[in-house]
Chain A
Amino acid sequence: MDIDNEIAKTQEERRRKEEELASLTSLTFDRDLYGGTDRDAYVTSIPMPRGEDDDNALGFRKPAKIIDREDEYRRRRLNQVISPDRHDAFAAGEKTPDPSVRTYADVMREQALAREKEETLRAIAKKKKEEEEAAKVEKESGGAAAAVPKRRNRWDQSQDDGSAAAKKAKTTSDWDLPDATPGIGRWDATPTPGRVSDATPSVGRRNRWDETPTPGRLADSDATPAGGVTPGATPAGVTWDATPKGLVTPTPKRQRSRWDETPATMGSATPMAGATPAVPLTPGVTPFGGTDLQTPTPSNLRGPMTPEQYNLLRWEKDIEERNRPLTDEELDAMFPQEGYKILEPPASYVPIRTPARKLLATPTPMGTPLYAIPEENRGQQFDVPKEAPGGLPFMKPEDYQYFGSLLNEENEEELTPEEQKERKIMKLLLKVKNGTPPQRKTALRQLTDKAREFGANALFNRILPLLMQPTLEDQERHLLVKVIDRVLYKLDELVRPYVHKILVVIEPLLIDEDYYARVEGREIISNLSKAAGLATMIAAMRPDIDNIDEYVRNTTARAFSVVASALGIPALLPFLKAVCQSKKSWQARHTGIKIVQQIAILIGCAVLPHLKSLVEIIEHGLNDENQKVRTITALSLAALAEAAAPYGIESFDSVLKPLWKGIRSHRGKVLAAFLKAIGFIIPLMDAIYASYYTKEVMFILIREFQSPDEEMKKIVLKVVKQCVSTEGVEAEYIRNDILPEFFRNFWVRRMALDRRNYRQLVETTVEMANKVGVADIVGRIVEDLKDESEPYRRMVMETIEKVVANLGASDIDARLEELLIDGILYAFQEQTSDDANVMLNGFGAVVNSLGQRVKPYLPQICGTIKWRLNNKSAKVRQQAADLISRIAVVMKQCQEEQLMGHLGVVLYEYLGEEYPEVLGSILGALKAIVNVIGMTKMTPPIKDLLPRLTPILKNRHEKVQENCIDLVGRIADRGAEFVPAREWMRICFELLEMLKAHKKGIRRATVNTFGYIAKAIGPQDVLATLLNNLKVQERQNRVCTTVAIAIVAETCSPFTVLPALMNEYRVPELNVQNGVLKSLSFLFEYIGEMGKDYIYAVTPLLEDALMDRDLVHRQTAASAVKHMALGVAGLGCEDALVHLMNYVWPNIFETSPHVINAVMEAIEGMRVALGAAIVLNYCLQGLFHPARKVREVYWKIYNSLYIGSQDALVAAYPILEDEQSSEQNNIYSRPELMMFV
């Protein structure tokens, strides 16, 4: 057979080739391809797919995970552990707390223990270091240990609070060298007390992978409360010398960050709590990591995963599906029946076994129980998520660890009531988290309604771990937080034991970069403090105030400020005072002072009543021994002063001296903070003091002008701005003492590069100009308009624009004027960047403020504009056109009408422009010219211009539409006679389309234009068009049409419109009738008092509408009645109004929100027009009606009546009879009103 021969030949050939290249049994690589055998050069992992970018390009944005946008510092929230419930002293009353419950004392004791441990470790470290050094000195050969790489562990990476230097010293300190644990956590990183002893006492410290609390873990933390948590007997056996073990990170090699490790090593780093590899890295340290966790529960097996792992898993699954081996059937289906033969695998074939090769060959699933190669299942549809049972929404893979048990189709009846409840909660939560909006809504309501039934414990045990899920998305978090909020409201004081738990998950929201997340967090904490009360809040948060972890302290401070704003500052003051004066730890003082700062930031001017006490509480911090405390004190004072501005200087009296003394003695960060405080305090002072203190601080500021530190620069600029803007500082002083140094140091190109510097510098300079005048400042920088750096030119331009716009150009002399125009023209022409508005605005501002003085330069400017209108870049053309609209007014002032006419013609020629943005600008420029030179003098004449605009009205681009309709409207208003009526009718039809526009401005302009056109050519034709348009389907279109009809009626007098309009009501079509009613409503709104002449004419129509079966009829008619009543109040139309009121009144029992709203407003209108007494008489019949439903409605009406005209009711209240009997003697009558002279 020739097939066999061919196969044999191919096989032979391939074998030869394989021998050349690589044998399958040993590791060889193609040297041509890979170059050399240096295997380290190979990529050992396939990079993660960056799918998002592609998806974004296609317009499918994946929902954003919170963790993706968080920085290292914010991710520390995942290190927090949801602490077990605490003792609720209020609920327990006099009882001694159950030993199994953590009380405040326990928590504080743990905290103290942790601190003590930290101290001890520090002492030991110091001692060891000393010993080490001594040893080193003795025998010079101790170098081996010193080779340990100095690396900062993850705890330090974002701790930038100024102690960086100190920290570096600590990290490199070699006290941990004898333990030979590279990458060990510092003493600093010892677990927080809450964590160490958190009811699973012997866990020691879990590593970060395990921090995500899983239901499983929580369950066992709940299950073992009695055993472990006897106070004092905390972390069983975790003595200080064993700590490093807890910290031993599971991967033996710690070169790369774990986040980017490959799945291969991941296998060993099984993310199970108990499975931290007990590799005894350190001799002498017995690893007993998670001995009691080593029996993994099923949910533990699913294990906490990091987002990367999830992604990897998803991605792998995907690849897996595509790369799975083809089955014989599939191959049969693919290949033709003949010409192929199934061969035996060659004898030399050995499946790949070596792990490294395997890694290169195909990505294998991780060797963890997390994932197994799926069974071959041809019928499966891979992209469709499996339907969850019982109408549950689909689960994402990361949800399985929380909701997995819902998938077990157990018989509900076999479960205990407790379990059933859990299941129910889980189902509801899943629906809230992943469900469709209706599902979510009902689930949320059920959770709220049954909150007390479920109980706080069951609810929070389910909700809180979900919030700690590392893969949470913004939307999901929002929903879960909402659940907490609703549940909190219902549970009220039952939340007390869970306050700390809730805080652990909610506090991170307070430092989220998303504004709404912050607001949400505040709301929850505020509600929480209202529910739990101040005592519980303080008890829960007090231990965190001097927590070792800066992150915890920071979030706690913010949370405390929210508590203060919720429960009032006075309530918190004594506590704050005690904390700020804490002798035990500087952390407590720091946090206390920070709370004050946060309070000031949060509640703003509401600090004023408590300003004095707040300042008193923190003032001693300025002289604190700890540098951080001094810094935060100054920052807090700054925040307080900012919040209190412009009042409250007397409260700061006591800190002035230390602050001003401080700036002479401090450097660096502390100095910056002090300067900031001074900057905010000076504006509060009286003029004399401000001037004195400014001079005191100024020499320091001028010294710091040269500081290379960016932060310092910003603060200095800000302080200079604040000082300069105060009243007492004189122009002469600024001019002589500050300006030269200021310009020398700050007006340099480098400042223009950083956005924040740029802004600050411009603001400060503008503030100085306000004091020293335009000429000084502009004169100094005008030359720089011709600088070669564009960002710098832009900064100069922006400053000049702001200065000139503020102060005008009268200070500028002829020479400076020349330089200025020259510079501006240069800068304008040389600009290349896209951000062109600065130049445009600058040009406009300067030209406008120079006014007539610009005349000599106008030909040159117009030449530039004309030249640029012809540019090939669309941006340039657009900008040129925009510039025309800015300077048109000035050109008129300079009597350059001829020039403008010329520009008009030029613009007219460019109306064929194809870029909509540019076309919009050109239309805008034409409009500006038409506006200033008037219709008669316009060139090209209006009769030529308008027909050219009609087709442009069809353009769908918003900017074009807006400018075009404005121009057309302007022409219709002022120069309608230049255009034949037929053309106007054509435009009317075009305008109907414009009513569909999304932008409100366009619709408004359109509707107004209808009015102008109707005025120009008479209302009949326009009205006919508009009435026809009422028949269209689109609601927005109809609404706009009704408005247009009303406007036509207003401009052309109602009597020209009303007959046709009322006639249209006879059309038996819902939309048309409603449109007519709506037009009437708008019409009476617009014509106001004029309505008195028409009210009798439309009353029969409204009668009919108010009796109609259709709700919308009645609603619209009611709103027409409202406008009518308000318009004719006091004009003697009461008879008609009472008549209409009789028709409106029966509608008060409507339940549809819009209808009832309209009816209520109509009644309010009647109150104004008829007087409260008449409406009260309508009301009285139902106030004490036997049916509650009736009473409710009547009282609602009574209340709005009462709020509206309380005084007027006095005369109209009914006469009540006195109740006089043996036991009571109530006089209800009002005898005074019976008096008669």
Chain B
Amino acid sequence: MQASDRFNINSQLEHLQAKYVGTGHADLNRFEWAVNIQRDSYASYIGHYPMLAYFAVAENESIGRERYNFMQVNNILSFCLVF
């Protein structure tokens, strides 16, 4: 990389991206990526009511129960990344 590129927007872009939870980098391993995927997935299920409703029908549970379950999984997952 040239000297002049060191401080340009692209290097900053990476820095900026790194501020967000869930973004990755070249040294991310399979496990960490998978945890992120799982977290995003459960967060997404919780966020989309129709999805919850669908799962509820499929699992024969109430929607609230589904939501609660997903929350629990998500909490455990967020714990996974902390260590």
Contacts and interface: CB of A to CB of B under 8 A. Distances in A.
Interface of A: 441, 445, 1151, 1153, 1156-1157, 1160, 1183-1184, 1188, 1191-1192, 1195-1196, 1198-1200, 1202-1203, 1206-1207, 1209-1210, 1213, 1216, 1226, 1228, 1230, 1232-1233, 1235-1237
Given A1199-B24, A1202-B24, A1216-B37, 11 more contacts: A1153-B9, A1160-B10, A1160-B13, A1183-B24, A1183-B33, A1199-B17, A1203-B17, A1213-B37, A1216-B34, A1228-B38, A1237-B57
A1235 B54 contact: yes
B32 to A, nearest CB: 11
Contacts of B59: 1235
B41 A1236 contact: no
Contacts of A1213: 37, 40-41
B10 A1157 contact: yes
A1230 B41 contact: yes
Q: What secondary structure prevails in chain B residues at the interface with A? A: helix
B25 to A, nearest CB: 5
How big is chain B's contact interface, by range? 20 to 34
Interface in B24-38: 24-26, 28, 30-31, 33-34, 37-38
A180 B24 CA distance: 78
B39 to A, nearest CB: 10
A1237 B26 contact: no
17 contacts: A441-B3, A445-B3, A1151-B2, A1151-B5, A1183-B33, A1184-B30, A1192-B25, A1196-B17, A1198-B24, A1199-B24, A1202-B22, A1210-B44, A1226-B31, A1230-B38, A1232-B45, A1233-B41, A1235-B55
Given A1157-B10, A1183-B24, A1206 B30 contact: no
Contacts of A1206: 22, 40
**Closest 8 pairs between A and B when the two form their complex, measured CB to CB:** A1235-B58, A1199-B17, A1191-B26, A1210-B44, A1199-B23, A1228-B34, A1192-B26, A1153-B8
Contacts of A1233: 41
Contact of A1232 (B2, B18, B24, B55): B55
A1207 B38 contact: no
A1066 B24 CA distance: 44
A115 B5 CA distance: 55
Contacts, number: 81
A230 B37 CA distance: 64
Given A1191-B26, A1195-B26, A1196-B13, A1203 B58 contact: no
Q: What secondary structure prevails in chain A residues at the interface with B? A: helix
Given A1216-B34, A1226-B31, A1228-B34, A1203 B23 contact: yes
B4 to A, nearest CB: 8
Contacts of B28: 1195
Contact of B58 (A445, A1151, A1191, A1237): A1237
A933 to B, nearest CB: 50
B47 interface: yes
A421 B58 CA distance: 74
A911 to B, nearest CB: 48
Contacts of A441: 3
A1153 B6 CA distance: 10
Nearest to A1187: B26
A1203 B17 CA distance: 8
B67 to A, nearest CB: 12
Given A1153-B10, A1196-B13, A1235-B54, A1210 B41 contact: yes
B54 A1237 contact: yes
B83 interface: no
Interface of B: 1-3, 5, 8-10, 13-14, 17-18, 20, 22-26, 28, 30-31, 33-34, 37-38, 40-41, 44-45, 47, 54-55, 57-59
Contacts of A1200: 13, 17
Nearest to A1191: B26
A984 B22 CA distance: 59
B56 to A, nearest CB: 10
Which of B18, B23, B47, B59 counts the most chain A CB atoms within 10 A?
Answer: B23
B57 to A, nearest CB: 6
A1156 B10 CA distance: 8
Contacts of B26: 1188, 1191-1192, 1195
Given A1195-B28, A1237-B57, A1209 B40 contact: yes
A1228 B44 CA distance: 16
Which of B18, B26, B41 counts the most chain A CB atoms within 10 A?
Answer: B26
A1228 B58 CA distance: 21
Contacts of B24: 1183, 1195, 1198-1199, 1202
A1044 B26 CA distance: 44
Nearest to A1156: B10
Contacts of A1207: 40, 44, 47
Nearest to B38: A1230
Contacts of A1209: 40
Contacts of A1156: 10
A1216 to B, nearest CB: 6
A1183 B5 CA distance: 23
A854 B22 CA distance: 66
A1151 B10 CA distance: 10
Given A1151-B1, A1153-B10, A1199-B17, A1226 B34 contact: yes
A1196 B17 CA distance: 8
Contacts of B30: 1184, 1216, 1228
B22 to A, nearest CB: 6
Nearest to B70: A1232
Contacts of A1230: 37-38, 41
A550 B35 CA distance: 59
Contacts of A1232: 41, 45, 55
A440 to B, nearest CB: 13
A1233 B57 CA distance: 13
Nearest to B11: A1153
Contacts of A1157: 9-10
B25 A1195 contact: yes
Contacts of B38: 1228, 1230
Nearest to A1211: B44
A441 B45 CA distance: 53
A445 B47 CA distance: 49
Which of B18, B41, B59 counts the most chain A CB atoms within 10 A?
Answer: B41
Nearest to B51: A1232
A1235 B26 CA distance: 33
Nearest to B25: A1195
B48 to A, nearest CB: 8
A623 to B, nearest CB: 48
Nearest to A445: B3
A1207 B24 CA distance: 16
Given A1188-B26, A1195-B25, A1195-B26, A1236 B58 contact: yes
B34 to A, nearest CB: 4
A1176 to B, nearest CB: 11
Contacts of A1226: 31, 34
A1157 B9 CA distance: 8
Contacts of A1198: 23-24
A1210 B17 CA distance: 19
B5 to A, nearest CB: 6
A1232 B26 CA distance: 29
Contacts of A1235: 54-55, 58-59
A174 to B, nearest CB: 64
A1188 B38 CA distance: 25
Contacts of B44: 1207, 1210
B70 to A, nearest CB: 8
Given A1230-B41, A1235-B59, A1153 B23 contact: no
A1203 B34 contact: no
A1113 B44 CA distance: 41
A1220 to B, nearest CB: 13
B14 A1196 contact: yes
Contacts of B41: 1210, 1213, 1230, 1232-1233
